[in-house]
């Protein structure tokens, strides 16, 4: 018998529904609140920003949502994505553990982000919207939305965090290739951007500021809406195609994961991989430990507070109850740009509070060491973000080597690093530093949380 290295589903076996974990929870997640009234936000509050279909998906309690045929057709350009058994990494580590990774780097832009960008563009186009605005940090989300907008004939305008805009020209070129207009953030085009520049003319920006700019522009234009690449319920819903495919692939492999690990920025690749496994766990059909891995420099789950906070810096979004480091927290410029967000998905934060999964924080140098070990055995160079999950996998596999346990480990390899190689260059040159978050900095930013809301 050939020992299989990858498990590939037939296109015909690709899942046709997204899974909504909220349907299976005894305690529903706390609602987002209107910052002015302190009341739960209603569909009307969100209508200037999102199309009706996505507003409905944000609050639905249905267990499954059918994936539109037009979206399935675009998904088929790269889905189903492969599940790999990391046999060469296992051998290099000398571990009895079996390590699997679900690889999302096969998408046109090299990450899991098109899984939600495509349906978001589709629903907006179907409701006659002409243009989408968005923010992007390292550029992965911006390039995914740019691709999706090109696919459905929408205009797209992206505010890219200044630091990445200057340091990562390839993502910007990619967005422009797909026809998107890219602005550095903070920009002079918005109130929010001008306010930041007035105080800090050399600001290198943050995701929170860029969100404020994109939201402000969409809110002013009746033909435009805003798109977010993580954090919200509908985004995590769309990403569950990852876990649904992985479940089928584990059936092919005749195996069951004991541990599922993923990196968390806003929580979308992690939720997408783990929610279908959580459904199986809640139904008593499986019992994996589920673990989130975040950067030590931006540790919203392990060191943040669970409280109502804004999703952006200027305070334009509804208040969301989530694990947060404070909405004006600006994380150190670590290389995993996609993990530099001050908050965490409210749904994931709720599940964490309910004890459905655990979390761990790792320093970036340990992550890149793991990324290099992975690349030298498996070939794929992991994006800086999933090196966090890879590091946790390797740590666990080495533990298994000591105990002799043949644990089955699954991780989401949510993107490749082919456009982020300067980060590996910095590591290889010995120039990378670890930015441990200072207690005083954290105390100051948490002191600025909106007071007396929903507590």
Q: What are the residues binding ligand PLP (CB under 6 A)?
A: 111, 113, 140-141, 230, 263-270, 338-339, 383, 385-386, 414-415
Q: Among residues 392 and 400, whose Cβ is nearest to ligand PLP?
A: 392
Q: Among residues 97 and 410, whose Cβ is nearest to ligand PLP?
A: 410
- What's the min distance (Å) between Cβ of 420 and ligand PLP? 9
Residue carrying the six token digits 């001050």: 342
Q: Phi/psi class of residue 392: alpha, beta or left (left: φ > 0; alpha: ψ in -120 to 50)? A: alpha
**Alpha-carbon span 37 to 72, nearest angstrom:** 40
- What's the min distance (Å) between Cβ of 415 and ligand PLP? 3
Q: Among residues 216 and 385, whose Cβ is nearest to ligand PLP?
A: 385
Q: Among residues 140 and 240, whose Cβ is nearest to ligand PLP?
A: 140
Cβ within 8 Å of residue 373, ≥6 positions away: 89, 92, 394
**Alpha-carbon span 217 to 316, nearest angstrom:** 11
Q: Among residues 217 and 263, whose Cβ is nearest to ligand PLP?
A: 263
Q: Among residues 164 and 190, whose Cβ is nearest to ligand PLP?
A: 164
- Sign of the Cα torsion 60, 65, 69, 75 reads positive
- What's the min distance (Å) between Cβ of 128 and ligand PLP? 28
Q: Are strands 305-310 and 319-324 parallel, antiparallel or unpaired?
A: antiparallel
- What's the min distance (Å) between Cβ of 149 and ligand PLP? 17
- What's the min distance (Å) between Cβ of 117 and ligand PLP? 11
H or E element, residue 370:
helix 364-378
Q: Among residues 95 and 133, whose Cβ is nearest to ligand PLP?
A: 133
Q: Among residues 113 and 225, whose Cβ is nearest to ligand PLP?
A: 113
H or E element, residue 379:
none
Q: In what order do the strands lie in the sheet with 289-295?
A: 6-7, 83-85, 98-103, 408-413, 259-263, 289-295, 358-362
- What's the min distance (Å) between Cβ of 94 and ligand PLP? 28
SS3 309: strand
Q: Among residues 230 and 349, whose Cβ is nearest to ligand PLP?
A: 230
- What's the min distance (Å) between Cβ of 405 and ligand PLP? 28
SS3 272: helix
- What's the min distance (Å) between Cβ of 239 and ligand PLP? 8
Residue-wise burial string across 402-419, b where 16 or more C-beta atoms lie within 10 A, e elsewhere: eeeeebbbbbbbbbbbeb
Enter the tokens of residue 116.
Answer: 């939600």
* Beta carbons of 326 and 448 less than 8 angstroms apart: yes
**Alpha-carbon span 337 to 68, nearest angstrom:** 31
- What's the min distance (Å) between Cβ of 110 and ligand PLP? 8
* Beta carbons of 211 and 201 less than 8 angstroms apart: no
């Amino acid at each position: 018998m050939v020992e299989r290295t990858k498990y590939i589903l037939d296109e015909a076996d690709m899942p046709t529904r997204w899974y909504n974990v909220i349907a299976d929870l005894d305690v529903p997640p706390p609602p987002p609140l209107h910052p002015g009234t302190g009341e739960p936000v209603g569909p009307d509050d969100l209508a200037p920003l999102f199309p009706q279909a996505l507003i409905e998906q944000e609050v639905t309690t249905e267990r499954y949502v059918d994936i539109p045929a037009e979206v399935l057709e675009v998904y088929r350009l790269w889905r189903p994505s492969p599940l790999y058994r990391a046999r060469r990494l296992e051998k290099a580590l000398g571990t009895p553990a079996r390590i699997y990774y679900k690889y999302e780097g096969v998408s046109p832009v090299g990450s899991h982000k098109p899984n939600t960008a495509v349906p978001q563009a589709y629903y907006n186009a179907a409701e006659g919207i002409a243009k989408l605005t968005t923010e992007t940090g390292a550029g992965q989300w911006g390039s995914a939305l740019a691709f999706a907008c090109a696919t459905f004939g929408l205009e797209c305008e992206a505010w890219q965090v200044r630091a990445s805009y200057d340091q990562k020209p390839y993502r910007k070129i990619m967005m422009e290739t797909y026809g998107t207009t890219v602005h550095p953030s903070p920009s002079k085009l918005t109130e929010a951007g001008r306010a930041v520049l007035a105080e800090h003319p050399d600001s290198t920006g943050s995701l929170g500021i860029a969100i404020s700019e994109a939201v402000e522009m969409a809110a002013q234009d009746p033909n435009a809406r805003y798109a977010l690449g993580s954090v919200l319920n509908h985004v995590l819903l769309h990403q569950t195609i990852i876990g649904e495919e992985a479940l089928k692939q584990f059936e092919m492999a005749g195996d069951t994961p004991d541990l599922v690990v993923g990196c968390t920025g806003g929580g979308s690749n992690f939720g997408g991989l783990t929610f279908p496994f959580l459904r199986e766990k809640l139904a008593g059909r499986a019992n994996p430990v589920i673990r989130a891995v975040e950067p030590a420099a931006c540790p919203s789950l392990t060191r943040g507070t669970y409280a109502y906070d804004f999703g952006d810096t200027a305070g334009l979004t509804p208040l969301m109850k989530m694990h947060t480091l404070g909405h004006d927290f600006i994380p150190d410029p670590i290389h995993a740009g996609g993990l530099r967000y001050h908050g965490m998905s409210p749904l994931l934060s709720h599940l964490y509070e309910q004890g459905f999964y655990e979390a761990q924080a790792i320093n970036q140098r340990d992550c890149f060491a793991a990324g290099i070990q992975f690349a030298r055995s498996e070939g794929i160079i992991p994006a800086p973000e999933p090196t966090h999950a890879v590091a946790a996998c390797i740590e666990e596999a080495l533990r298994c080597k000591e105990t002799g346990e043949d644990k089955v480990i699954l991780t989401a390899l949510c993107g490749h690093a082919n456009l982020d190689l300067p980060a590996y260059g910095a590591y290889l040159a010995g120039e990378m530093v670890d930015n441990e978050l200072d207690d005083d900095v954290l105390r100051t930013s948490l002191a600025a949380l909106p007071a007396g809301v929903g507590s």
